[in-house]
Structure 1
Amino acid sequence: MKIQTLIIGAGAAGMMCAAHAGDCVLIVDHAKAPGEKIRISGGGRCNFTNLYASPGNFLSRNKHFCKSALKRYTQWVFIDLVDQHRIPWHEKTLGQLFCDTSAKDIIAMLRAEMDKVGAQLWLQTEVGEISHDGSQFRITLTKDGKTRTVTARNLVVACGGKSIPKMGATGLGYDIAKQFGLPLVTPRPALVPLTFPDDQFKHLAGVSVPTRVSANGTSFDEALLFTHRGLSGPAILQASSYWREGDAISVHLAPEIDLMTALQKDRQTDGRKALTTRLSQYLPARLVDHLTEELALAGTIGDQSDAALHTICNALQNWELRPGGSEGYRTAEVTLGGVDTDSLSSQTMMAKDVPGLYFIGECVDVTGWLGGYNFQWAWSSGWAAGQAIRFRQAA
């Protein structure tokens, strides 16, 4: 079977590429349905992009690599596509856009765009041997118990990273990169809950609190959630992408208020109240109970000098914690690292030394923040590769 383009991976980036890569495109996936990560994302509503998406919201060894694709295919272009398909959406918080009804609307939209250009989709298809003779690729595919060889001028690797293996995530994309001599930035789980020794926060499981969490100089003001194994919530997931094993994180509790001024006022108006009672007006009572011994929170608010209040506030606003690890790929929303961008063209996503070989989406060393940024990278990188393939076809 001879085609122009074979795309491995029917996720967000792969389907986007298929819709723009011109004629004679085949996209394959080992799953039973396309877009499985899209389907489960955002609680089934798909946080499909972010109003504030820009290169500064992405991590990569080369911070400039993502600029070209993001500038040429912006969130506004994708929002326009969503509107064209009459998919209702809303902004939740911090520029995060979600479908009003179901993430399946985004999958249906991508399928419709693929159908417009006649792209074929083979599901429950396994990829075997891949070779390249300098002008075309030969790929062995097995579907319905039958093995066949496909030849293609272009091969697009869009099979994601290692996150959420229960959904079938593997390191196939990295294996293909290695086969063709492309280096990797060591992959690691990102946007992932952090764990602590001895389940030290188990008794606080379910408690959520506004925070500013900092890891290696980068901070996020969002909610923190205590779990049976450690810490989660948006602030922790964001910080996890910057955290490294052995490092500490800093937690600033109640960043939205001037806690020192609030407690000084309480000292004047409610001096007989217990210090812990007053703190419980600003922090969850269970958390205050947890901190009572650690911070020696005793006596009434009226008993506290300015120096004592300063010490307490400093401890609450610079709470240093040292995670033992993370939940790993099992619950990580994305994979950090991947195919080294130095080996790819930022304009086309094509490997510099292997004509016709493209890497897009999560398998590339470009990782977005929580909040729709990784989907925007999928749309932008998929579009960039698709446009390049179409141009290459016409040349």
Structure 2
Amino acid sequence: MHVDCIVIGAGAAGLMCAATAGYRGRQVAVLDHASKVGKKILMSGGGRCNFTNYTIEPNQYLSANGHFCKSALSRYKSSDFIELVERHGVAYHEKTKGQLFCDNKASDILNLLLTECEYAGASITSQCSIEKIEKIADTFYLHTNLGQYSCTSLVVATGGLSIPTMGASGFGYQIAQQFGLACTPVWASLVPFTITDKWQPIVNALSGLSLNVRVTCNKQTFNDPLLFTHRGLSGPAMLQISNYWRPSDTLLIDFYPSGDLAEQIKAWRSQGSKSELKNLLATILPKRFVESWLTETEAGRAVNQYSDAEINAVALKFHQWRITPSGTEGYRTAEVTMGGVDTDGISSKTFEAKTTPGLYFVGEVLDVTGWLGGFNFQWAWASGYCAGQYV
């Protein structure tokens, strides 16, 4: 079977690219090895798909080349995808910080993409495993379990290594290397941390408890909720900072970012309060957390028995917790893969490989990683759309 363009991968970027190219009159075939397309879309955002963000800026993306993402993000904005969502009648809402979610289910976004592909005439074939890719003259030949396909434009939209149970693999990196493109180191990101040192029993005891924090690592800071788990630390704050964390780095966590705890405790003392410190702190922080964080001698004393030095020491425990995670939960639960196909070998305008005419890479397979909050989906839409203009 010969078509103008083959897209490998029926995820967010691949389907967006296929529809865009199809509307240009290109004959497009999308091939995916999974039994069901768009699995990662369906499970994203807790099943409601955080499909974009009202505010998208290049500094919210990480890449060895920080400038690479600018062109595509400026040519296909979040407002463009929102217009598409509204045109399809998909109800949505802003959850927090510009993050947009479906009112109903993530399947609304997948159905939108499938409908667009249908309108554009792009065919989609699942359970298609690619065994070999060759390029002879200007034509790519794909040998699959369903027979041979050929095309003049080949788009790699295979994603990264995150969530292997959804079918993730390193196939896209193998294709890049086959055609002489470099790949930057990859690792799991937007991912929970594991704690195995002396703090593990306390973290485990606090499992399920969430509170707002300020977390800092490598000069990057986020103010978001933290969730204690039986294995470590999760929640938006931890997922966000994981983009900037590297093994052996220490996290600095402030459990009371909204004020000065020392001043608050001294105010209680000046008011003549005879209440125990743990009870007063439990009015502004979760009780279970306060009791775990204070020593027995600290917890059982009345606030009017504390000196300034003791108050400052207690406050510091809550404002400056330094913890060095033992690692992360890895690709099993990571929302994205950091790193990927080196963007130095890719055109930021067309997404075509500079040394291999007709070969394109879009989406997560590239070395472009966004923050939590719809940024990676917007990268998928933008890169897929821009490549779709040229394939």
TM-score, normalisation: structure 1: 0.95
How far is the alpha carbon of 1:315 from its aligned partner? 2.6
Structure 1 distance, partners of 2:170, 2:177, is: 11
**Contact 1:13–1:378 (Cα < 8 Å) also in 2:** yes
How do residues 329-344 of structure 1 correspond to structure 2 at under 5 angstroms? Answer: 329-344=331-346
Partner of residue 357 from structure 2, selected from 355, 358, 362: 355
How far is the alpha carbon of 1:297 from its aligned partner? 5.0
Structure 2 distance, partners of 1:155, 1:99, is: 32
Partner of residue 280 from structure 1, selected from 271, 279, 282: 282
Structure 2 distance, partners of 1:274, 1:342, is: 60
Matched with 1:175 is 174
**Letter aligned with residue 132 of structure 1:** K
**Letter aligned with residue 18 of structure 2:** A
Matched with 1:157 is 156
Measured against aligned partners, the alpha-carbon deviations of 1:230-279 in whole angstroms (never above 9, x if no partner) come to 00000001011111111110101121233232222211235311112222
How far is the alpha carbon of 1:122 from its aligned partner? 0.3
How far is the alpha carbon of 1:310 from its aligned partner? 2.1
Partner of residue 250 from structure 1, selected from 243, 249, 252: 252
Inter-CA distance 261–71: structure 2 relative to 1 (3 Å threshold): same
SS for the counterpart of 1:56 is helix
Structure 2 distance, partners of 1:295, 1:53, is: 49
Structure 2 distance, partners of 1:305, 1:101, is: 54
Inter-CA distance 212–294: structure 2 relative to 1 (3 Å threshold): farther
Matched with 1:392 is none
Structure 2 distance, partners of 1:13, 1:295, is: 56
Identity of aligned residues (%): 48
Matched with 1:127 is 130
Partner of residue 384 from structure 1, selected from 368, 383, 386: 386
**Structure 1: 5+ residue runs without aligned partners?**
390-395
Inter-CA distance 121–294: structure 2 relative to 1 (3 Å threshold): farther
Structure 1 distance, partners of 2:312, 2:136, is: 70
**Letter aligned with residue 159 of structure 2:** G
Structure 2 distance, partners of 1:354, 1:344, is: 10
SS for the counterpart of 1:225 is strand
SS for the counterpart of 1:383 is helix
Aligned residues: 385
Larger deviation: 191-200 or 315-324?
191-200
**Letter aligned with residue 369 of structure 2:** T
Structure 1 distance, partners of 2:338, 2:212, is: 26
Partner of residue 56 from structure 1, selected from 55, 59, 65: 59
**Contact 2:272–2:304 (Cα < 8 Å) also in 1:** yes
SS for the counterpart of 1:235 is helix
Measured against aligned partners, the alpha-carbon deviations of 1:110-133 in whole angstroms (never above 9, x if no partner) come to 111111221010011101100112
**Contact 1:51–1:96 (Cα < 8 Å) also in 2:** yes
Matched with 1:40 is 43
Measured against aligned partners, the alpha-carbon deviations of 1:320-343 in whole angstroms (never above 9, x if no partner) come to 001000000000011000001111
Larger deviation: 249-258 or 237-246?
249-258
Inter-CA distance 295–220: structure 2 relative to 1 (3 Å threshold): farther
Measured against aligned partners, the alpha-carbon deviations of 1:212-235 in whole angstroms (never above 9, x if no partner) come to 111111111000000000000000
Matched with 2:189 is 190
Structure 1 distance, partners of 2:268, 2:55, is: 39
Matched with 2:304 is 302
SS for the counterpart of 1:276 is helix
**Contact 2:276–2:299 (Cα < 8 Å) also in 1:** no
**What RMSD, in angstroms, separates the aligned Cα atoms of the two structures?**
1.4
SS for the counterpart of 1:125 is coil
SS for the counterpart of 2:20 is coil
**Structure 2: 5+ residue runs without aligned partners?**
none
How do residues 14-33 of structure 1 correspond to structure 2 at under 5 angstroms? Answer: 14-21=14-21, 22=24, 23-33=26-36
**Contact 1:291–1:297 (Cα < 8 Å) also in 2:** no
